Amino acid sequence: MSFHVFLLNSNQELFGCGDNDYGQLGLGESKKETIIQKLTKIQNIPKGKIIDIQSGNGDSIMLIEDENENQNPKRKLYSCGYWQSNGFGKNTYKFTEIKSSLFENDDNILDFSVGDYHTLILTSNGKLIGFGNNYYGQLGTGNKEYQLIPFQIELPKLRFNENISNYHISCGLRRSFFYYSPLSFSNLEEDLIKLFRRKEFCDISFKTKNGEIIKAHKLILKYRLNQNENQIEKIQEIISKIN
């Protein structure tokens, strides 16, 4: 449950109010703000578009598209607030960039979600990264150990594309939800074709005389066999009529 709130208008102006005991408003101090106001004291934030900002119980996380990088703008996360859930392991009273080797040069942040005391981050390379409270197993690690700094959550290998929107992560009070589908339903036929062409989805192999391995799908072969049988029957029917 969060006791502070942020509002972002269409002009990229940030407003906020509420509890600030741990510096979760990012103002460089712990003074509570009881009236919503424009947060002009926020520092350390690079010039860029604020994609999203979310409030946890005692922390805040902001996603910014950095304008300092002209080609392929990098999305960066900035955090402040309570030490157990801000990704640093110590209280921070100003928004500070969350840096990690997990965010590779060619990787970008697609989505993130802030829970009560934990956070999940999804990247374009299919990584699910988390940190924070894990007492109820909300980080999906199989144990209850706290994770104070970002770490990668083990998942089946995923393939993401920044142009699709068929994924979702959501952190609640003591639980987390992650949804992913490799299909973009707006181009279902095209995506199915791409999936069937991927070797890891093949379920049968043939070896040619020269030793080459050809991957295939039983379902497609069965369908084509049925088609060929139907065509043969039609040809035989035509031949019988001619005779």
Q: How far apart are CA 62 and CA 50, in angstroms?
A: 7
Locus of tokens 């490799």: 182
Determine the Cα angle at 231 with ends 228 and 235, to 5°.
135
The percent of residues in the chain predicted with pLDDT above 90, rounded, is 33
Minimum mean pLDDT range among 28-37, 62-71, 77-86, 94-103 = 62-71
Asked if 61 and 77 touch (Cβ cutoff 8 Å), the reply is yes
Structure-token pair, residue 187: 């181009």
Q: Backbone phi, then psi, for 84, in 5-degree steps?
A: -80, -15
Q: Evaluate if residue 163 carries a pLDDT over 60.
A: no
Q: Evaluate if residue 106 carries a pLDDT over 80.
A: no
**How large is the average pLDDT for residues 104-125?**
87
Q: How far apart are CA 146 and CA 128, in angstroms?
A: 16
**How large is the average pLDDT for residues 152-166?**
66
Query: What is the pLDDT, as a whole number, of residue 19?
Result: 93
pLDDT per position as a tens digit, 10-37 = 898 899 999 999 999 999 999 999 998 8
Structure-token pair, residue 129: 């990264």
Q: How far apart are CA 154 and CA 175, in angstroms?
A: 17
pLDDT per position as a tens digit, 174-211 = 889 887 766 555 565 666 666 666 776 677 788 888 88
Q: Is the pTM of this model over 0.75?
A: no
**More confident call, 134 vs 190:** 134
Which H/E stretch holds residue 123? strand 118-123
Phi and psi based region of residue 74 (left: phi greater than 0; alpha: psi -120 to 50; beta: remaining) = beta
Residue 60 pLDDT grade (very low, low, confident, very high; cuts 50, 70, 90):
very high
In our burial notation (b when 16+ CB lie closer than 10 A, e otherwise), range 184-200 reads eeeeeeebeeeeeeeee
